[in-house]
Amino acid sequence: MVVNPKKSQEFILYGVESLLNILLDITANAANKIVQSNLTDLVRDEMQTSNVNVNKLSKSLYQLKRRGYLDVVEDSVALTNKAKIKMVDKISSNINEDSKYHLVSFDIPEIMKRNRNRFRRTIKRIGFVQIQKSLWVSKKEVGELVDIAAKENKVGSFIAYFVAEYSNINRHISKITKRDNPR
């Protein structure tokens, strides 16, 4: 049998993302940490399938731990920042909008272009909209996600995150956020 490496890799990525989605749901309901001994049972219950192979599930969880998506401390398991970045779309979609503007400004040197591009893609996935060259806005309280993204991309010292109730460009921000986020 010939295995197509690209399809195999896509299947693995789909499996990892699916498992991370399940773990995100579980940890959100269990105050971000769960007891390791119950992890397999919780994931199996969340998958709602009785024919889940426990060995495959255990191997998958081990792979997530080995790849840095799960943090196991004593008898607890938690999602790492790497996992949270992978699932940032889902995490931010669960955060409600508020009346304040959450702004991110950055000036990351050209020598760190790859890190800057990864950070920019992440804040877009979080839900930020560009209002000027390096000024982005969101109506959600996502400071923790921005902090995680900055740390994961090693650009924290070049990032400014601030919250404002009013700005002299309110009308401009409202226009841009409505245009980019139609309801």
The whole-angstrom separation of Cα 120 and Cα 134 is: 9
Measured CA angle at 159 (ends 128, 96), to 5 deg: 30
The whole-angstrom separation of Cα 104 and Cα 161 is: 5
* Annotated domain spans of the chain: 5-86, 91-180
* Domains 5-86 and 91-180 are alike in CATH topology: no
Report CA torsion sign: 90, 95, 101, 106.
Answer: negative
What pLDDT score does 180 carry? 60
What pLDDT score does 82 carry? 86
What pLDDT score does 15 carry? 53
CATH number of 5-86: 1.10.10.10
**What is the model's pTM?**
0.71
Q: List the strands of the sheet with 76-79, edge to edge.
A: 34-35, 76-79, 70-73
Smallest CA-to-CA distance from 160 within 105, 112, 107, 115 is with 105
What pLDDT score does 156 carry? 94
What pLDDT score does 34 carry? 55
- Series of mean pLDDT values for 10-residue runs along the chain (183 residues): 40 53 61 55 57 65 80 72 84 84 93 95 93 89 92 94 83 72 52
Tens of pLDDT, residues 30-78: 445 555 555 656 565 655 554 556 666 667 777 778 888 887 766 667 7
Give the CATH architecture of domain 91-180.
2-Layer Sandwich (3.30)
Task: Tell me the sheet residues that pair with 105.
Answer: 135, 160
What pLDDT score does 9 carry? 40
What pLDDT score does 84 carry? 84
End-to-end CA separation in angstroms for the chain: 49
Smallest CA-to-CA distance from 23 within 65, 73, 66 is with 65
What pLDDT score does 83 carry? 82
